Amino acid sequence: MRIGDVLRIGVDLERLPETVFHDLVLAILQNDDPGMLLMREVLLSQGLRPDFMSLEPRSMIIEVVKVTPQTLRRLRDVRGKLFRYRDAFQQEYPNHPPPILMLIVSSPLTLRYHDVMRESGIELRDGVWIQEKIKQFPDVEHFFSRAFVGPEREAKSDRGRDLVGVLASIECGRSEWSKYQRICADIFEYLFCPPLEAPIREIENETKVNRRDFVIPNYCSQGFFYFLRTHYQADYIVVDAKNYCGDVGKSEVLQLANYLSERGAGLFGIIVTRNGHDATAGIIRREQWMQHGKLILFITDTDLKQMIIAKRSGGEPNAVLRQKIEDFRLSI
C-alpha cells in the first residue's frame, strides 16, 4: 500500500512504534504553534517526567498515549497522572501560572470521554484530531514509511537495526530511564506483536501502590505464548525495564513479584536490565517460583539484540524466552 493511499483512508496510529508516534505528535504541535517551546521528558519533583512541557509562551503539560484508554478507569488513571504532573510542576516552578493540561491519544473517543476530561480541566485531543492534522501537515510521509509497508519495504527500512541503534545510544542511569523503558516496549512490540497485543504502558494496580512499566496482553490460542498462558498463567506479560548501570537486586524482583497475582495480571513477569542480576535477585526469584508459582525472567540488552537478530533473519525470537525458562526450571 502506498503512503498516499494510507493517508486518504486514515492511519491506524496504534500501529506506529511509540517513539515514532511521539515524534509525529511533537511535529504536529510545533507545526500548529511554532512559538511554543516544547521540552521532552523534563524531570520534575517526585521523579515525574511528563512527555512534553512548555514554559513559554504559556505553561503547559502534555501527556501522549499511543494505546488509547478505552475504559473510564484507564482514562481516570491518565487524568490522575496529569494532576500529579501539575502538582509537581507548581512545586518546581512556583512563579509560573498553573499549567494547561492536555492529553493526546491515537484513537477516537466518545463524547462522554471528552466530557469527563473537559470537566476535569484537561484538553483532550484524540485520533480524529490527529487525522485532521495529518491532512494539513506539510511533511508527514516519513513518519509512516516504516509503519505501513510490506515485507520488501520492511527489509529496506530495517526496523530491527534501527531499534538496536537506539538501544545502544541510551546511557545507563536514572537520567535516561524513560528512554530505556520506551525502547524496551518498542522492541517487545516489534518482536512479538502480533501474535501478542500492543504493550499497555505504565499500568498501576487498583491501590496505585505498584506500577509496572508495561504489560502485554496475551490472548493467543496456540503456539509458545498459549503455552505460557496455560502453564504459567501469563494472560498478561508484565515487564519492568531497569536502566541500571549495575546489576538488579532483590528489591527489583520483589517489586515485580508484588504486581503478579493469580486473579490479577497473572504469574509471569520479565525484568529487562542492561547487564544482569546479582546473587540475591536470583535467590528471591527462585523463592517466588517455589513458594508462590511466580515465574520471573531476566532479560539483558544482549538478549534483546539476540532476539532482534532472530526476528530479522526469519527465526523465532521467542526461542530466547523459551530457553531462559528451560535453563531456570532445569537448574532447580
Report which of 100, 73, 65 is spatially closest to residue 198, judged by C-alpha positions.
65
How many domains, the chain? 2
Indicate if 27 and 165 belong to the same structural domain. no
Indicate if 245 and 214 belong to the same structural domain. yes
Indicate if 52 and 130 belong to the same structural domain. yes
Indicate if 102 and 175 belong to the same structural domain. no
* CATH code for the domain of 181: 3.40.91.30
Distance CA 159, CA 146 (A): 7
Indicate if 128 and 208 belong to the same structural domain. no
Which residue among 87, 114, 143 closes a domain? Answer: 143
Which residue among 143, 168, 185 closes a domain? Answer: 143
Indicate if 84 and 190 belong to the same structural domain. no
Indicate if 165 and 304 belong to the same structural domain. yes
Residue 153 covered by a domain: no
Grid cell in block for residue 217? 496482553
Indicate if 195 and 47 belong to the same structural domain. no
Residue 97 covered by a domain: yes
Indicate if 207 and 131 belong to the same structural domain. no
Does the model's pTM come out above 0.85? no
SS3 273: strand
Task: Print the domain residue range for 34.
Answer: 3-143
- Beta carbons of 280 and 250 less than 8 angstroms apart: yes
Which strand (E) or helix (H) includes residue 226? helix 223-232
Indicate if 129 and 193 belong to the same structural domain. no
Indicate if 46 and 184 belong to the same structural domain. no
DSSP 267: S
Indicate if 45 and 168 belong to the same structural domain. no
* CATH code for the domain of 25: 3.40.1350.10
Distance CA 22, CA 52 (A): 9
Residue 149 covered by a domain: no
Per-residue pLDDT of the chain (332 residues; tens, 9 = 90+): 333 333 333 456 766 777 888 888 998 888 888 888 888 888 888 778 899 999 888 899 999 988 777 767 778 888 999 999 999 999 999 989 999 999 998 888 878 888 889 999 999 998 888 888 887 766 666 666 545 444 444 444 578 888 888 899 999 998 888 889 989 999 999 999 889 998 887 655 454 445 568 899 999 999 999 999 999 999 999 999 999 999 999 999 999 999 999 888 899 999 999 988 999 999 999 999 999 999 999 998 988 887 888 787 677 888 889 888 988 898 88
